Amino acid sequence: MANEALAKAGLYVDELNKIRIADPNITRQTQELKDDCHKFVDSELFFPLLATLLLLLCTTSTQNLYNGLTHSLLGMVEFQGIVNKSIAVSNKLAILVEQEKLKAIGSRNLLESVAKDREMQQQQLHALVLEKKIELERLKVQLNTLKKEEAEQNELIEQFLLQR
Per-domain boundaries in the chain: 44-135
Answer yes or no: are the C-beta atoms of 3 and 13 closer than 8 Å: yes
Q: Tens digits of per-residue pLDDT, 116-163?
A: 999 999 999 999 999 999 999 999 999 999 999 999 999 999 998 888
Q: Report CA 117 to chain centroid distance, whole Å.
A: 22
Q: Tens digits of per-residue pLDDT, 2-43?
A: 667 766 766 677 777 777 667 777 777 878 877 877 776 666
Q: How far apart are CA 97 and CA 22, in angstroms?
A: 10
Answer yes or no: are the C-beta atoms of 77 and 84 closer than 8 Å: no
SS3 87: helix
Q: Please enumerate in sequence order all residues whose Cβ is within 8 A of that of 152, keeping only pairs 6 or more positions apart, or say none.
A: none
Q: How far apart are CA 23 and CA 12, in angstroms?
A: 6
pLDDT at 68 over 70: no
SS3 61: coil
Q: How far apart are CA 101 and CA 93, in angstroms?
A: 12
